[in-house]
Chain A
Amino acid sequence: MSIMNEIEKKVILIVDDSEPNRSLLRDMLYSKYSILEAIDGEDAIHQLEKKHDVIDLILLDVMMPKIDGFGVLEKMEAEGWIEDTPVVMISSDTSAKSINRGYALGSTDYISRPFNQNIVKRRVENTLLLFEKQKGLMDLVKEQVSEKEESNARMIRILSTVVEFRNGESGSHILQIRVITKILLDVLRHRHPEYLLTQVDVANIVTASALHDIGKICIPEGILNKPGKLTKEEFEVMKGHASKGEEILCDMEDDTSDAMFNYAKMICRWHHERFDGNGYPDGLVGEEIPIAAQIVALADVYDALVSERVYKPPFSHEEAFKMILNGECGSFNPDVIECLETEFPKIKKTILENSELKDQSLINPEMVSKDMIMRRNETLSNRTISLIEEERIKYQFLASLSTDALFDYDAKTDHLVFSGENREAFGLPDFVENLTQSSGGLGNDVQELVQELRYRIQETTPEKPFVNKQCKWKMADGSTAWCQVTARSLWHNDNTEDQSKLRGAIGKIININDEHQKLSHFQKLAMHDSLTKLLNPMTAQTMIKEDLEVNPDAIGVYIFFDVDDFKKINDNKGHNYGDLVLQYIASVLKKNTRSDDITARIGGDEFLIALRNIQDEHVIKKQVERIYQALLHSNDDYELSVSMGVAISPRDGKNYTTLVKHADLAMYAAKKNGKHGYQYYDSSMKEFD
């Protein structure tokens, strides 16, 4: 048996004066339970005093010396142990009389002799199970009741704080009333049982005391918070809060059996009554005033004295105490006054430590209710609507200033709205209904674009909501313009949703045609040789490298050539003529190459051609020959000839450097061969290196 099981084993106390009987029972039960033994009733009580909270069940013999089984049951009842520990009587005396006596004293069951192991085990097990379930249920009920009480109390605190705030009273007024009421009631209950107050009554009265001034909600604010003395008429209105409070509560709750509510009604109506009949509204005298109202009346007076009011500064606790005892605040029940006298130090101390009291509430009802009051002249929905309206006007204004087209897509309704001054120039309607189902009058291109954007927007996340796209846009006037479409997805940020949900998207379409043209112009400038408009060496190199990277095994032809005796041309005919020759060469190359071939001026009179995606060698020969022949030119005063070297990928190399180097070697070979010709690279050319 593991230690854990040993710990979890239930504990059974066997009480029997006969040793053989105890060992018999022990042997029957010890495998499943921890066994304690008591040799008689006295010993049993002695053991229970020490460890009643660890004993789960008692097997109790009836006939025993000193104290018998019934005596043990009586003691257990008196100590309250019987509530937590079930007792199974052991009886050889199966007369109904003694069994009934056992039941009457709280035993749960009995077993009779001779002991049958099965029956003993089963009785013990059943009793334990039953008790456990009962206890579980009781705990559950207790928990539910206290939960309900807690939420009731919380609602009442909120409600009363609303009243308190409107009354311009300090935030702790209600709390202090409750505290004073509680202290006075606790002592009154003990000292004067004749008032028949139970603990439940005390709890209900304390809770209800928070509502004592709820009727003030009906009093005009001018009177309620008037700094000076009230006129006679005003005071009459003010006095109305007592009966108004009771009316409010009567309207709120029909259930007249709710004790807390009944106390609240009494307290509201009669917390300004005085013991001598000089109070209001009914002028009740003495015991006619319910004790709950009497206590709260005193608590209210005490609190009012020690608190600051619009019409008076706070008095010290000692002053307040003296004023009440002197009858300056009307007469009170002597029993209640007596409670105040003895509990005065405690009340004073508790109120002065008031900050601690505040922390007792789980939520901050004060803040909640203040917030509610702040908004009382402006209902939540109106406030929301005005905020939305404000945003809408702002948005419209900014949209009208924009030369772009704006759009707003709502995923729930599937509607797409276009706006912005230039909406029509983009050929866009103002509204597309059921976007997923219909083209909504959008052109095919736009429809396609919309689908693409919708797809990309769905791929966004709340953290990365942006989508950008540049595309050619067919404008309403038939022209084509480069446009930039920028969109942002919108998400529900409602925390109650498991995941963020796409709500829709907003965005704009900007005409960037001018910028695009400028950009492409500058890009061209940057990429090309200014004289020949062929690619510059850097760009050619980048493009060839990229191409080789993408298609390392594709057949390509790399031709490197220069003009034979170009220096002579420059020297004899001048640089301008030389430039013209170079421009002429460029024009020849453009005519004799495909648009995706690369033609570049590498420097001076050196050129590089890269012919890509060549099918076979036969084509290469023809192509090289054609280019070579095209470049040869003669007129009256000048004959143009070139020397060309050709390298073929992947045969002669797979990277830019190797291929250009080999083409260069081949070109030198051509020159050595007497210029005016071309050579294909072969590995023997290394010797020229």
Chain B
Amino acid sequence: MNIERFYNLIGGDHKEVVETLGLPEELIETYLTKIYNDTTYDKLEEAIASKDYDTIEATAHTLKGNAVNLGLGNFGVSTSALVNCVRGNEYDKVDGLFESVKKDYQQIRLAYEETK
């Protein structure tokens, strides 16, 4: 997998991620693979449809954690915004914020598929 290109495609900073984690690129690749295969996003999507705000908060929080840890560009920002919105009970903004999350997530999946 070309990790550098992956981060370029998603607007992340490859160099910073590698330095911060202090781990070999092969390991970073396995985390990215795990995230690609992870079902948390699917659960979030379901929760959005059923307006299950607790699950929305929990899954968005998990995704945010992964995004921040792996420096997944805008994905960390959009998931964070979604979490804060649910915690602030601003449910009317949820759908709009989820659209951003969805867009960022799909960008990550496309980049992963292209560079793997």
Contacts and interface: CB of A to CB of B under 8 A. Distances in A.
> Do A and B interact?
yes
B38 A24 contact: no
A115 interface: yes
Contact of A113 (B27, B38, B69): B69
Given A24-B31, A117-B20, A117-B22, A17 B62 contact: yes
A301 B38 CA distance: 78
B69 A24 contact: yes
A540 to B, nearest CB: 103
Contacts of A21: 65-66, 69
A19 interface: yes
A19 B65 CA distance: 11
A85 B64 CA distance: 29
B48 to A, nearest CB: 18
Given A20-B31, A20-B35, A20-B69, A117 B64 contact: no
A343 to B, nearest CB: 56
B71 A27 contact: no
Nearest to B72: A114
B68 interface: yes
Interface string B54-82: 00001001101110111100000000000
B38 A20 contact: yes
Given A28-B22, A114-B68, A117-B20, A18 B62 contact: yes
Interface string B28-65: 00110011001010000000000000000010011011
B34 A19 contact: yes
A19 B17 CA distance: 19
A86 B36 CA distance: 34
Contacts of A20: 31, 34-35, 38, 66, 69-70
Contacts of A118: 22
Contact of B58 (A19, A65, A92, A115): A65
A627 interface: no
B88 to A, nearest CB: 13
B66 A114 contact: no
Give chain B's interface residue range (CB within 8 Å of chain A).
20 to 34
Chain B binding surface, main DSSP class:
helix
A18 B20 contact: no
B81 to A, nearest CB: 13
A122 to B, nearest CB: 11
B110 interface: no
A152 interface: no
A136 to B, nearest CB: 31
A199 interface: no
A61 B62 CA distance: 11
Give chain A's interface residue range (CB within 8 Å of chain B).
20 to 34
Which of A21, A24, A28, A65 has the most chain B CB atoms closer than 10 A to its own CB? Answer: A24
Contacts of B20: 114-117
Contacts of A65: 58
Contacts of A23: 30-31, 34
Contacts of A432: none
A432 B27 CA distance: 94
B1 interface: no
Nearest to A115: B69
Given A18-B66, A114-B68, A24 B58 contact: no
Contacts of B30: 23
A63 interface: yes
Contacts of B27: 27
Interface in A98-136: 113-118
Nearest to B24: A27
B22 A116 contact: yes
Contacts of A116: 20-22
Nearest to B54: A65
A17 B58 CA distance: 10
Nearest to B20: A116
Contacts of B31: 20, 23-24
Interface in A1-60: 16-21, 23-24, 27-28
A63 B58 contact: yes
A120 B35 CA distance: 22
Contacts of B64: 92
Contacts of A16: 65
Contacts of A18: 40, 62, 65-66
A114 B22 CA distance: 12
Contacts of A114: 17, 20-21, 68-71
Nearest to B16: A114
Interface string A537-575: 000000000000000000000000000000000000000
Nearest to B66: A20
A92 B34 contact: no
Interface of A: 16-21, 23-24, 27-28, 61, 63, 65, 92, 113-118
28 contacts: A16-B65, A17-B62, A18-B62, A18-B66, A19-B34, A19-B38, A20-B34, A20-B35, A20-B38, A20-B66, A21-B65, A21-B66, A23-B30, A23-B31, A23-B34, A24-B31, A28-B23, A61-B65, A63-B61, A92-B64, A113-B65, A114-B68, A114-B70, A114-B71, A116-B20, A116-B22, A117-B21, A117-B22
Interface of B: 17, 20-23, 27, 30-31, 34-35, 38, 40, 58, 61-62, 64-66, 68-71
Given A24-B69, A118-B22, 19 more contacts: A18-B40, A20-B35, A21-B69, A23-B31, A24-B23, A24-B31, A27-B23, A27-B27, A28-B22, A63-B61, A63-B62, A113-B65, A114-B68, A115-B20, A115-B21, A116-B20, A117-B20, A117-B22, A117-B23
The 3 A-B residue pairs with the shortest CB-CB distance in the complex, in nearest-first order: A117-B22, A113-B68, A20-B34
